[in-house]
Structure 1
Amino acid sequence: MTLEVGSPVGGLAAPIAEVPDPVFSQAMVGPGVAVKPEGGSGDAVAPIAGTVATLHPHAFVVASPEGPAVLVHLGIDTVKLKGEGFTLHVAKGDQVAAGQPIVTWNPTEVESHGYSSICPVVALDIAADRLADLREDGQVDAGDPLFSISA
């Protein structure tokens, strides 16, 4: 079983080590890839199909039926915005399809508050050697593959 993880946003793919937060850059929550979003307001979409396990305005987790769960964090320290500028389109417990809009947000607005808009996309509770096909550079559109998780 291989689970393909898509980009939640369009932008530039980057190694997780480039995230300006040690919790992510040192893979403390899990391995993954980061995306530096480009453009203004847009939707962050589900990276995989599954159940919305955790939902905050600035972050969400989708758990796949096969087990692996993927965390998407919209920017760094964006919890300090207290939801301002984020519009949720789903509820915790909802079933979502890969590519389905989860949150509308504006990376430019996040940056105007002095926060990084980079988006870590992290496989939770997975060893790094289970990730393959990591896309750590180049342009990606929302939904484009970032990495895959093997069984």
Structure 2
Amino acid sequence: MAFFDRLIQRVVWQPLEQWLLSHPVANWFILHPLMLVLAGFAIVLLLAGLLGAIAQLTENLWIRLLRFPFQLVWTLLRGTVNVTKVIVGRSPTPTLAQLPEQTEVRRSPQQELDELLSRLDALKQEEAELMQQIRTLVQQQLSSDSH
């Protein structure tokens, strides 16, 4: 029996003792088992949080990967519908055969000049009327302020 005790001491305890002497923090935890349990619990909580974060990240990645084809098809459909609306909404350019013949006779430059001058006279008359209204309003404002 003494032989087995010495064998166990030489094979197991001496290397363990040497390792504990070279690692004082591990030796301190062995001597304080309550702190070892608390540190172990903290490590388990940190690892659980890390694994949860990794799981959530991979879940989000898979969801995005699985949604991508549907989003791509949806975007292509919307683009196709928009292009179709633009094409259908745009009036087609008429061909030369479809253009109506011009029945309107071109006016001479003198006729165009007369029309422009008459429009200019009408605008001058309207401007004079507006200026008269402004003068009247300003005089009324001044007379009401002086009272």
Say whether the fold is shared (TM-score over 0.5): no
Pick the structure with greater CA Rg.
Answer: 2
TM-score range relative to shorter protein: under 0.3
Whichever structure has more helix as a proportion of its residues is: 2
Whichever structure has more strand as a proportion of its residues is: 1
